[in-house]
Amino acid sequence: MILDDFLIFNPNGLYCKYGDFYLDPQLPVTNAVISHAHADHALPGNTNIFCTEATHAFMKLRYGKNAGKIFNIADYHAPFNVGKVQITFVSAGHMLGSAQVLMEYHGVKYLYTGDYKVQPDTTCEPIEWVNADVLITESTFADPAILHPDPVEEIKKLNDIQLNILLGAYGLGKSQRLINMISEHAPQKKILVHHRIMPINAIYQKMGITLGKHEIYGRKLMKNQEEFVYIVPPFTFDSYIRATGVKRLFASGWKNLQVNKQDTLFISDHVDWNDILQAVKNVDPKQIWTLHGNGKHLEKYFGDDIVVKILN
C-alpha cells in the first residue's frame, strides 16, 4: 500500500518519517540524502550525509570543513538502509554523480528523481530507468509549451560567430558539458576557463571524464580576435556587461537568465515536457508526486489514469 505521508514537507525540507531522513534538506539535519552537488540541493552542515562519491568531492570543494560531519558514500545500485527504508542510488543523467533516490519500504517503491535529464551528456553517467510505484519528479518544466531544442544545434551557433565570445554558465555541471560539446562541435574554438571553474574540472578529470582541450584564462589572451570562447560563472558574466569586442552569450535552460534570444544558448540540464512523459512511461508508476514547479499540466494530462499529487 502506498503511504500518502511517506514524504512530507516541513521547514527543513522534504522528510521521510519512516526512515527519519531528508531528501536534499534546506537546513542542517541529522540524516541527509543528497541527490547531487548543485548548491540548491547540497547544503552544508548536516550530520550524516548519504551521497555518491562525486557529490562528496564537489561538496568538499565548495564547503571545505563545513561540508558535513559523516559522509556515507554509496555507489549506484548498492542498496543501504536509513532507518527502516532501503535506499538505492540510480543515475540521474543531470551532472557527474547525480542520483535518483529509490526508496523501498514495506514492498512499495518510491523514486525521487532529484534533477534529471534525458539528453545525451558524456560528462556524466547516463540516466537509468527503474520501475517504481510512486514517481516523485521535479516539474520545473512540466508544461507542454516547454520543449528544449537540440543542444548540439545550439552549440553549433558558435561556429557562425567570429568574434571572441564571453560565455556565461553555471560553474558546476554546465561548464564542463559546454567544454565537452564545444570541443566536439566547434573544434576550431579556443576554450578559456575562469579560474573558479578549474578546480571543478580537476575533479571531473580525476573521476575519468574527458572534457576536451581548454586552458585557464589569462589577461594576455583575448587581446586579439582568435575565436576564443571564455567560459565564466554568472557573477563574472554580469560584471562584463560593458565589455567591447566580445560577443556575450549565456547558456541556460532558464528563461529568466536568458538575456534575449540572440544572446542565449538554450541548453538545459533538466527534463522538458516530453522527457517527463518518457520518464513516466519507463518508471510506470501508479502515482506521480510533483516538486519544484508546476504539476497542474501533468494532473490534467493523466486524468484518471495516474494519480498526480502536487507536493509543494
Report, in Å, the least distance between residue 39 CB and Zn ion. 9
Q: Which of residues 98 and 236 has its CB atom nearest to Zn ion in the complex?
A: 98
What b/e sequence results for 32-46 when a residue is b if at least 16 CB atoms lie within 10 Å of its CB, and e otherwise? bbbbbbbeebbbeeb
- Residues 204-233 binding Zn ion (CB under 5 A) are none
Kindly tell me the burial class for residue 183, based on how many C-beta atoms sit within 10 Å of its own C-beta (0-12, 13-18, 19 or more). Answer: middle
* 194 scored as a contact of Zn ion (CB under 5 A): no
Measured from the CB atom, the residue of 76 and 254 that comes closer to Zn ion is: 254
- Indicate which single residue of 115, 121, 154, 272 sits in contact with Zn ion (rule: CB under 5 A): 115
**Under a CB-based contact definition with an 8 Å cutoff, are residues 132 and 109 in contact?**
yes
- Binding-site string for Zn ion from residue 274 to residue 293, where x marks contact by CB under 5 A and - marks none: --------------------
Interacting stretch for Zn ion, rule CB under 5 A, among 47-55, 113-121, 129-137, 278-286? 113-121
Could you identify the residue written with the cell 534533477?
115
* Nearest to Zn ion of 93, 168 (CB atom): 93
| 8 A C-beta contact, residue 68 and residue 47 | yes
Contact range with Zn ion by CB under 5 A, out of 47-55, 84-92, 107-115, 219-227: 107-115
- Which of 168, 293 has the CB closer to Zn ion? 293
The DSSP call for residue 126 is: P
125 near Zn ion, rule: CB under 5 A = no
Nearest distance in Å: CB 291, Zn ion: 10
Largest CA distance in the chain: 66
In terms of CB distance, is 115 or 154 closer to Zn ion? 115
Least distance between Zn ion and beta carbon 121 (Å): 13
Residues 10-49 that bind Zn ion (CB under 5 A): 38
C-alpha cell at 288: 506521480
Across the beta sheet with 108-112, the strand order is 80-82, 85-91, 99-105, 108-112, 134-139, 287-293, 307-310
Nearest CA among 184, 193, 24, 6 for reference residue 109? 6
151 to 180, contacts with Zn ion by CB under 5 A? Answer: none
Q: In the complex with Zn ion, which residue's Cβ is closer, 214 or 270?
A: 270
Cβ distance 59 to 42 under 8 Å? yes
Query: Which residues would be at the binding site for Zn ion (CB under 5 A)?
Result: 38, 115
